[in-house]
Chain A
Amino acid sequence: GDSVTQTEGLVTLTKGLPVMLNCTYQTTYSPFLFWYVQHLNEAPKLLLKSSTDNKRTEHQGFYATLHKSSSSFHLQKSSVQLSDSALYFCALGTGGYKVVFGSGTRLLVSP
């Protein structure tokens, strides 16, 4: 079945450093990939989305590129801020009205 793998459960970084959160997926359908961010006691909010192979998508300083050849959609930012501390979820939609989520990565940014 469809699945999403996020390998890091927790990433801790100092403010100003770059970050990459890994996301790989498995599906036999044409994939739609999403990154959501969830701050404490808030709703998950859409950060990025893509269904186009090899095209970089950006929002709020975060960026990701869908690579169908490697089934990946890694999230990156060149310089993290304290306010980026949150849970990040990668999710996969396949057009079948079911969106599958990864296990999430908690990003902690220290001063």
Chain B
Amino acid sequence: NSKVIQTPRYLVKGQGQKAKMRCIPEKGHPVVFWYQQNKNNEFKFLINFQNQEVLQQIDMTEKRFSAECPSNSPCSLEIQSSEAGDSALYLCASSRQGNQAPLFGEGTRLSVL
């Protein structure tokens, strides 16, 4: 079965702590997306990669969020200093090309206390 693997499924952090989550994209998918799904179920695009290169990212990502997709290692998204407003489901997705439907992982649910 095709699959995007995200770990951990759940992450609990205190305010100001680092929070790191990982994603293994589907084999053969060079494009990786990170989305934040908030409590209202809205998707917010954070960043995307093609292979190891950042294609696009939003301002929020540039300031407190860092992400990378090294070759031969899982992709990762890290929040340097977690805030309560970061509590959300973080979804990783991958695709073969930019215009193809992304395949989603099950997400990492972050709770910032």
Assembled-state Cα–Cα distance A13/B100 (Å): 32
A contact residues, range: 20 to 34
On chain B, the residues within 8 Å of A100 by CB distance are 45
Whether A98 touches B107, Cβ cut-off 8 Å, given contacts A46-B101, A93-B98, A93-B100, is: no
Which of A43, A51, A98, A106 makes the CB contact (< 8 A) with B91? A43
CB within 8 Å of B: which A68-111 residues: 87, 89, 91, 93-101, 103-104, 106
**Of B43, B50, B101, B107, which one neighbours A93 at CB under 8 angstroms?**
B101
Contact of A98 among B56, B101, B105, B106 (CB under 8 A): B56
> How far in angstroms is the closest Cβ of chain B from A105?
10
Closest chain-B Cβ to A62's Cβ sits at a distance in Å of: 15
Cβ of B31 under 8 Å from chain A: yes
Interface string of B38-73 (1 = CB under 8 A from A): 001111010010100001100000000000000000
User: Which of B33, B42, B50 touches A99 (beta carbons < 8 Å)?
Assistant: B33
Write out, one digit per residue, whether chain B residues 1-12 have a CB within 8 A of any chain A CB (1) or not (0).
Answer: 000100000000
Question: Interface extent on B, as a size class?
Answer: 20 to 34
| Chain B neighbourhood of A93, CB < 8 A | 98-101
A55 at the interface (CB under 8 A from B): no
Are A87 and B41 touching (Cβ within 8 A)? yes
Q: How far is the CA of A34 from the CA of B107 in the complex (A)?
A: 20
- A103, B107: Cβ atoms closer than 8 Å: no
B22 to chain A, nearest CB (A): 15
Closest 4 CB pairs of A and B: A97-B98, A101-B43, A95-B99, A43-B104
Q: Show 26 A/B contacts (Cβ-Cβ < 8 Å), sorted by A.
A: A32-B99, A34-B101, A36-B104, A42-B106, A44-B91, A45-B104, A46-B101, A46-B103, A51-B99, A93-B100, A93-B101, A95-B98, A95-B99, A96-B98, A97-B31, A97-B98, A98-B48, A98-B55, A99-B45, A99-B93, A99-B102, A100-B45, A101-B43, A103-B40, A104-B41, A104-B42
